[in-house]
Structure 1
Amino acid sequence: MSNPTNMLLDIFPTEIIIRLLAQLDPISLLRCRLVCRLLRDIIAETVTFNYDIELAITGQEDGESCHLSPAQKLEMLRSHQAYWTELRWSTETVYTMKGGGLWELFGNILAQKHVEQSFTFVQLPSTYRNIPEREWTVEVDVPQRILDFGVDPSQDLLMLIEMPRSRTLLQQYYRIHVQTMSTAEKHPLITGSDVIDHRASSNHTSFSIQISSEHVGILFRARQAGPKNELLIWEWKTGRKKFHLRGNEFQSFCFLSDEHVVLTLMSSPEIYVEAALVIVDFEREGPDEKTFRNITHGLAFSLPEFGPSAEPLMFTVRSDPSPLWSPHSDLHVPFHISQDARMFVASLWVRNISFLDHLTLFVPKSTLLSRVDSLGPMSASLLLPWEAWGPTGSRMTKLDIFSAMGFDSWSCHDHGTKFIIPECSSRTQNRFTIQVFDFNQYSVKRAVSQGAKVSPTDISALAHLECDSSLCVTAPTVFRAGEIFRNEVRTCLPYRWIAKVIPSARNDCSAMCSEDSIILVDSESLNPSYRVFSF
């Protein structure tokens, strides 16, 4: 018997059907392939449909400034993804570590400060996205020593925190310079002064800078227990302050969207929680200084209740790149990571009797954004219980403690949905091994449907790591009741995993990743360096 759908579609020319299908999103195209043989064949034979579908499954967006054909882009995309899945890089390059003590990795740019007031930028190459290697150095004209810096290559943006010129016991005067990466001159999009001033009420020992589109956020961490941490968000083009939070309850932050930030919260008596991720709508909060309790548009995502012998010590969160990031149009890349493909990686150190444990919590952007309509006043103890979001919307695992030692120092472990961590233990036969986790859900589902090997347990439970063999993990990670948490904790967000031994690498190296590279950081040898493996 003839398929009624085929009979109906047969009256339309193929060109008309293609035009109709072109109005659909890639996921709808995938569903249409199941309707009938005619639609399946038309979609399979149309290169633009195949390219759009591959972009959606791999968490990528089309590079509109690239003039290659969809067929050429599709071939490059499949190669890029296949080599990442198998960890088959095309080049290896070593870059000497500068002596300035400051560095940044953002958007395939490795930035380092020299001992003097200069910076070297390296554009890391990519064979499969046609990105050439490029290196340049700029001299900055800042009177005092630079304490920290942030970059955004897509906007040619360099932001510098200058050491306070006049320091007293009660106040610090910080100056944040807004310049270009290309020339270290005033950024052309600045509408007023190229310096943002901030008068802090205490001395600060470290800083965290994050740039997201038109906003820059800086966390000023207090040197001592008495003074308070400060988080400020400005529009960097105008210098206008958008948000100002003071307190020691929060330890880190990162942008979730163009109007939301994620904070890590520790031991807050206001909402009776030991540790939580907190979403805040900074646009609606306004620029006036406030404490955590005064937030009127927030929501805390509670972690599980800790056991009586477990004490959380430090809780941080990171997500790279920033939510609205896309590469500079001058690069002409064929494709780049989608703005929806973001993973928030939280690092939690816990003292458990006389032992120290390190937990890593992976939370997709979609898990957090799904609750933004529930924001409200934190004074009302607005708290989302762990059971309402954590078990199916995240994955929590315990890292080898020696692998975790450099976790918070060299913190660029994630990019998009990928996460990298080194390990050198009995599980790896004491060989330096890198592990790559990919939480792209569409990619995992496709791999499983195509017969990829599925691990019977979470990777953390394996006694031996089999290298050069990709695994899909759908089994839950389980913490037994009383192990760290009061009750049993299960998380089951699926992911894809692969490990690879790196020859001649020191056991104490750290690892970072960007869109096209894996970077080994050797900071302890006589000749400190970055060893870059590029795809």
Structure 2
Amino acid sequence: MAVLGDLSAELIILILTHVPFRDVFSFQLTSRSFHTVISESTELQYHILLQTSGMLDNCNSSLPLRTRYEMLREREKSWLLLQPRFTRRISVGHSAVVPYELLGDVYMVSDGSKATISTFTLPSDAGDPVSSSRKLHVGDFDQGRIIDFAVAPEQDLLVLVTSDSDTPTGALNLQIHCIQRTTYKRHPLSVAGPISLSFDVPCSCAHAAVAGDLIALTFQSGDSEDDQVFLLNWKRSTVLAEMKSPTHLHGNAIFISRDILLVPNYTGLSYTGPSIQLWRIPEPSTKRVVLTTPNLTLNLPAYHPEVEVHEFLCRNSDNSSSQRPFYSDPDQSIVLFQLFTLSEPEPSSIELVFFVHRKVFLELLSAHENQPSSDSVVDHNSMHVLPWLSWGPPNTRFFHPTWYDQSSHTDWIVTAYGQRYVFLDLRYRTQEGTPVVVFDFNENTVKRVRNALEKAQTQDPPSLDIALLDVSIPTSIKGPESDGDPALARQRIGWCWKNRPGEDSGRNVPWGDQVLSQIFSEHVDGDLPYVMLCSEKLYDFTGTMMDDERVLGARSGEFHAGVDNLEVLWFG
């Protein structure tokens, strides 16, 4: 029987490309010859870096393997150092921040009158020209106003939701148009034309999301009895299903896979707290299906009786593939949740954000369907419910964003992509500007920084040498003098994880334990680890957004309104 040592290097490499990277590292230690084969193989080094970075290879890319490996390595270095490889300014000139989307190398924004959508193509190379915006006029399709829109780049699709009224009173008629992005004409696969939905109650908001052949449209009336989520087949212009949970207020629905929908729910003044519902999308049928019970409900911590949740939103990366040589693995991405609360007796709005990896929801639902957990209980509506303590603490991370700023947090919604989240840190704001900060929730990044930290304990000043990238990062840099005080040290890299016994936790980033206890009556204890990366350069941005390749810094116009221009920070 042949042993591995008898195989050719080419065959060993082929076998190891199907092995998790940790096993490749272990195998590398078994002999000097295997160490040489692995360390000198570009294919295996690329395989390892893809896995540790949470990226997928585009097998259709025509670029040589070594080029893809070098591009990925430079990209990961740039993100870790928060040093863009080039910057570019784009004039926008919008007087208000209104519905917008950042996806597939384009920034799309509607105007204040909600009658047009301007599309700005974002550069992916230092030599790319800054082209003028393209405008889509809603009047070319109907006489309504834009309520929301969503984009599916891989299908060249723009889903446009319009209304015949822009006031939240009286009956409402919604039109859902499926438009080809490249032509601004009706999409050729939308054979039956726009979809019409009519409601007898006022609409406070409507949100659209698209994946494959399906559109998820969330209708919010402000009344728990009338909130609904519709599943539409945009190619057939039909309503596939209607999801309606009694006594629940819906947030915006998102697809976490092609057949699973995630819907945030909140119940107003109720100590039971908000929840996250997972719905498995039914098989296509000739009749509309009405669903009243989610497949699984995940409770958030119970909150105090005097607290009211008045909005609960979420955002995730798109499920689409990419034309780039590599792209973020959707299943490894984080889902960003925004929770807005009011408390009595003096109502004051408090925003919380929290993060969960998308794969957590997929794994919880799969485990529940295959082997129902003893932690799962059934409430009076026969819903399968997981209590907070049985799923939440190890899988979530909460923040109370008082120490960072995005102007108005509801203005800048596209602040997370892949496993990263971007914001401006007010703790270090000066006259020169504010640093850009990124939280990286990639567990492999956390482990590499943790290992580098252990090796750097004897250094003065400490500096972290990050494996696989051959890059060194100082843990802090000197800040500018302020109000006569001595120059302050500004964190360059930080971390937050559950500490091992005796481990230093002095650089944990604050995340608002006191505020959480004022809102929730149940312990939160979110332990999802992350690494904080802080830019050395200061920026004069009003807010930040991000996609898979870049950070967009927004600068406000006159009187700090709208967006005057964007600065593209491209990382790769």
After the TM superposition, which of the residue ranges 95-104 and 473-482 deviates more from structure 2?
A: 473-482
Q: String of CA shifts for 1:113-141, please: whole Å, max 9, x gaps.
A: 3569543322212249x987655524442
Tell me if the contact between 2:496 and 2:529 (Cα under 8 Å) persists in the aligned partners.
Answer: yes
How far apart, CA to CA, are the structure 2 residues paired with 1:169 and 1:97? 31
The offset of 1:272, in angstroms, is 7.7
How far apart, CA to CA, are the structure 2 residues paired with 1:522 and 1:388? 43
Sort the Cα spacing of 1:14 and 1:520 in 2 relative to 1 into closer, same or farther, 3 A: closer
- Corresponding residue for 2:494? 471
| Residue type at the aligned position of 2:408 | G
Tell me if the contact between 1:478 and 1:488 (Cα under 8 Å) persists in the aligned partners.
Answer: no
Tell me if the contact between 1:144 and 1:165 (Cα under 8 Å) persists in the aligned partners.
Answer: no
Q: String of CA shifts for 1:468-488, please: whole Å, max 9, x gaps.
A: 712232147673694332244
Q: String of CA shifts for 1:242-266, please: whole Å, max 9, x gaps.
A: 2212465222221111111111111
The offset of 1:363, in angstroms, is 0.4
- Corresponding residue for 1:263? 263
- Corresponding residue for 2:180? 180
1:448 equivalent to 2:482? Answer no
| Residue type at the aligned position of 2:513 | F
Tell me if the contact between 1:166 and 1:172 (Cα under 8 Å) persists in the aligned partners.
Answer: no
The offset of 1:513, in angstroms, is 0.8
Residues 228-377 of structure 1: matches in 2 within 5 Å?
228-246=226-244, 248-267=248-267, 273-283=272-282, 288=288, 290=290, 294-295=292-293, 297-320=294-317, 322=318, 324-327=319-322, 329=323, 333-353=324-344, 354=346, 355-373=348-366, 374=368
Q: String of CA shifts for 1:281-329, please: whole Å, max 9, x gaps.
A: 12269774647xx21x421111112235543332211112x2x3112x4
Sort the Cα spacing of 1:523 and 1:478 in 2 relative to 1 into closer, same or farther, 3 A: closer
After the TM superposition, which of the residue ranges 249-258 and 97-106 deviates more from structure 2?
A: 97-106
Sort the Cα spacing of 1:200 and 1:289 in 2 relative to 1 into closer, same or farther, 3 A: farther
How far apart, CA to CA, are the structure 1 residues paired with 2:166 and 2:519? 46
- Corresponding residue for 2:53? 58
- Corresponding residue for 2:200? 201
Tell me if the contact between 1:424 and 1:432 (Cα under 8 Å) persists in the aligned partners.
Answer: yes
Tell me if the contact between 1:102 and 1:112 (Cα under 8 Å) persists in the aligned partners.
Answer: yes
Q: What SS does the corresponding residue of 1:263 show, helix, strand or coil?
A: strand
Sort the Cα spacing of 1:15 and 1:471 in 2 relative to 1 into closer, same or farther, 3 A: same
Q: String of CA shifts for 1:261-285, please: whole Å, max 9, x gaps.
A: 111111289x983111111112269
Runs of 4+ in 1 over 6 A off after TM superposition: 165-170, 452-455
- Corresponding residue for 1:81? 76
| Residue type at the aligned position of 1:445 | K
The offset of 1:41, in angstroms, is 2.2
| Residue type at the aligned position of 2:395 | G
- Corresponding residue for 1:514? 547
After the TM superposition, which of the residue ranges 29-38 and 209-218 deviates more from structure 2?
A: 29-38
Tell me if the contact between 2:423 and 2:437 (Cα under 8 Å) persists in the aligned partners.
Answer: yes
- Corresponding residue for 1:95? 91
Sort the Cα spacing of 1:472 and 1:530 in 2 relative to 1 into closer, same or farther, 3 A: same
The offset of 1:21, in angstroms, is 2.7
1:14 equivalent to 2:9? Answer yes
How far apart, CA to CA, are the structure 2 residues paired with 1:167 and 1:512? 29
Q: String of CA shifts for 1:89-120, please: whole Å, max 9, x gaps.
A: 11131322346844221223101335695433
Aligned with 1:494 (options 513, 525, 529): 529
Q: Which runs of 5+ in 2 are unaligned?
A: 373-377, 463-486, 500-510
- Corresponding residue for 1:39? 34
Q: String of CA shifts for 1:344-375, please: whole Å, max 9, x gaps.
A: 11111233454543221110012111111325
Tell me if the contact between 1:367 and 1:389 (Cα under 8 Å) persists in the aligned partners.
Answer: no
Sort the Cα spacing of 1:358 and 1:13 in 2 relative to 1 into closer, same or farther, 3 A: same
Sort the Cα spacing of 1:179 and 1:529 in 2 relative to 1 into closer, same or farther, 3 A: same
Q: What SS does the corresponding residue of 2:75 show, helix, strand or coil?
A: helix
How far apart, CA to CA, are the structure 2 residues paired with 1:517 and 1:466? 27
1:70 equivalent to 2:45? Answer no
Sort the Cα spacing of 1:96 and 1:13 in 2 relative to 1 into closer, same or farther, 3 A: closer
How far apart, CA to CA, are the structure 1 residues paired with 2:424 and 2:211? 28
| Residue type at the aligned position of 2:49 | E
Residues 206-221 of structure 1: matches in 2 within 5 Å?
206-221=205-220
- Corresponding residue for 1:418? 420
Q: What SS does the corresponding residue of 2:258 show, helix, strand or coil?
A: coil
Residues 372-391 of structure 1: matches in 2 within 5 Å?
372-373=365-366, 374=368, 379-391=381-393
How far apart, CA to CA, are the structure 2 residues paired with 1:99 and 1:369? 40
How far apart, CA to CA, are the structure 2 residues paired with 1:472 and 1:504? 23
1:156 equivalent to 2:156? Answer yes
Q: What SS does the corresponding residue of 1:314 show, helix, strand or coil?
A: strand
How far apart, CA to CA, are the structure 1 residues paired with 2:491 and 2:153? 33
Tell me if the contact between 2:161 and 2:208 (Cα under 8 Å) persists in the aligned partners.
Answer: no
| Residue type at the aligned position of 1:370 | E
How far apart, CA to CA, are the structure 1 residues paired with 2:333 and 2:288? 30
TM-score (norm 1): 0.84
Q: String of CA shifts for 1:13-43, please: whole Å, max 9, x gaps.
A: 3333234334435454344324433323211
After the TM superposition, which of the residue ranges 198-207 and 54-63 deviates more from structure 2?
A: 198-207
Sort the Cα spacing of 1:251 and 1:16 in 2 relative to 1 into closer, same or farther, 3 A: closer
The offset of 1:340, in angstroms, is 1.9
Tell me if the contact between 1:307 and 1:485 (Cα under 8 Å) persists in the aligned partners.
Answer: yes
How far apart, CA to CA, are the structure 1 residues paired with 2:256 and 2:71? 30
Residues 84-163 of structure 1: matches in 2 within 5 Å?
84-89=79-84, 90-98=86-94, 101-114=98-111, 118-127=116-125, 136-140=133-137, 141-147=140-146, 148-163=148-163
How far apart, CA to CA, are the structure 2 residues paired with 1:371 and 1:226? 26
Q: What SS does the corresponding residue of 1:489 show, helix, strand or coil?
A: coil
Tell me if the contact between 1:59 and 1:340 (Cα under 8 Å) persists in the aligned partners.
Answer: no
- Corresponding residue for 2:483? none
Tell me if the contact between 2:272 and 2:303 (Cα under 8 Å) persists in the aligned partners.
Answer: no
Sort the Cα spacing of 1:523 and 1:219 in 2 relative to 1 into closer, same or farther, 3 A: farther
- Corresponding residue for 1:531? 567
Tell me if the contact between 1:109 and 1:153 (Cα under 8 Å) persists in the aligned partners.
Answer: no
Q: What SS does the corresponding residue of 1:74 show, helix, strand or coil?
A: helix
Count of aligned positions: 506
Q: What SS does the corresponding residue of 1:182 show, helix, strand or coil?
A: coil
Tell me if the contact between 2:90 and 2:130 (Cα under 8 Å) persists in the aligned partners.
Answer: no
After the TM superposition, which of the residue ranges 73-82 and 511-520 deviates more from structure 2?
A: 511-520
The offset of 1:384, in angstroms, is 0.7
Tell me if the contact between 1:419 and 1:437 (Cα under 8 Å) persists in the aligned partners.
Answer: yes
Tell me if the contact between 1:167 and 1:173 (Cα under 8 Å) persists in the aligned partners.
Answer: no
After the TM superposition, which of the residue ranges 141-150 and 164-173 deviates more from structure 2?
A: 164-173
| Residue type at the aligned position of 1:532 | V
How far apart, CA to CA, are the structure 1 residues paired with 2:451 and 2:527? 18
Q: What SS does the corresponding residue of 1:97 show, helix, strand or coil?
A: strand
